[in-house]
């Protein structure tokens, strides 16, 4: 069973899949379409899945960070569904977790933050496939959450070297009521010329758990 674990101030427990995150020198690509329409849903792309962490650079990567401004772990959980219907994450209300992706991890990190006592959650997908993703935000308490999404493209030949490009989407201080679920739609592509986009699909707090 997948769970997000807290162990005092520093957490580096990789609970879904052990993955060494590759940190190459990224090319920068500014995102100008945050919270605009994600456009039509792409058809499933016939792309291979990663075999191990060494494919993170060649195939690309999708990282999602979420937090709430409180001491300890975030008061929300997340479940990410990829274009092929596979899930990763933990529902703190249903007490259910998933890790159905080939090379991925989720964990809570309380290290290297601003010293305020808050922690952040991370979901990292190595070799994420291109297409439409659904990110469900599930609230345990009335709070405000922030989500940042970093997408890195597959590596492409640029001159005489391989280069990957990244784009970002950030949602700050989104209010959510206890027991509510928000849904974000994400569009990601391994193509270096396609920036990630994010759109809140449902009005805030209009879906409550039973």
pLDDT (mean) for 99-121: 86
- d(Cα 168, Cα 33) in Å, to the nearest integer? 10
- Give 99's strand partners: 88
pTM score over 0.85:
no
> 4, 15 in Cβ contact below 8 A?
yes
- d(Cα 173, Cα 166) in Å, to the nearest integer? 23
pLDDT single digits (tens) 186-208: 999 999 999 999 998 765 444 43
Residue 124 has pLDDT above 60, yes or no: yes
pLDDT (mean) for 120-137: 97
| pLDDT for res 159 | 82
Whole-angstrom CA distances from 41 to 55, 63, 111, 153, 166 are 26, 20, 37, 19, 21
pLDDT single digits (tens) 2-15: 333 333 333 333 33
Residue 170 has pLDDT above 80, yes or no: yes
| pLDDT for res 201 | 78
| pLDDT for res 117 | 82
Pick the range with the lowest mean pLDDT from 17-21, 49-53, 148-152, 172-176. Answer: 17-21
- Taking the domains of the chain in order of start, what are their residue ranges? 34-200
Residue 115 has pLDDT above 60, yes or no: yes
Nearest residue to 63 via CA among 123, 146, 23:
123
pLDDT single digits (tens) 63-96: 999 999 898 999 999 999 999 999 999 999 999 9
């Amino acid at each position: 069973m997948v769970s997000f674990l807290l162990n005092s101030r520093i957490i580096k427990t990789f609970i879904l899949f052990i993955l060494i995150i590759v940190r190459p020198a990224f090319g920068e690509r500014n995102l100008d379409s945050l919270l605009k329409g994600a456009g039509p849903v792409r058809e499933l792309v016939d792309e291979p899945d990663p075999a191990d962490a060494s494919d993170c650079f060649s195939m690309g990567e999708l990282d999602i960070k979420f937090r709430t401004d409180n001491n300890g772990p975030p008061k929300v959980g997340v479940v990410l569904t990829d274009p092929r219907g596979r899930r990763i994450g933990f529902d703190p209300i249903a007490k259910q977790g998933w890790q159905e992706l080939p090379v991925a991890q989720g964990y809570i990190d309380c290290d290297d933050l601003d010293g305020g006592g808050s922690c952040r959650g991370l979901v990292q997908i190595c070799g994420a496939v291109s297409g439409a993703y659904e990110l469900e935000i599930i609230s345990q308490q009335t709070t405000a959450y922030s989500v940042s999404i970093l997408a890195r493209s597959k590596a492409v030949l640029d001159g005489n070297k391989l280069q990957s490009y990244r784009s970002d989407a950030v949602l700050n201080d989104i209010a959510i009521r206890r027991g509510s679920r928000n849904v974000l739609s994400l569009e990601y592509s391994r193509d270096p010329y396609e920036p990630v986009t994010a759109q809140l699909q449902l009005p805030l707090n209009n879906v409550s758990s039973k």
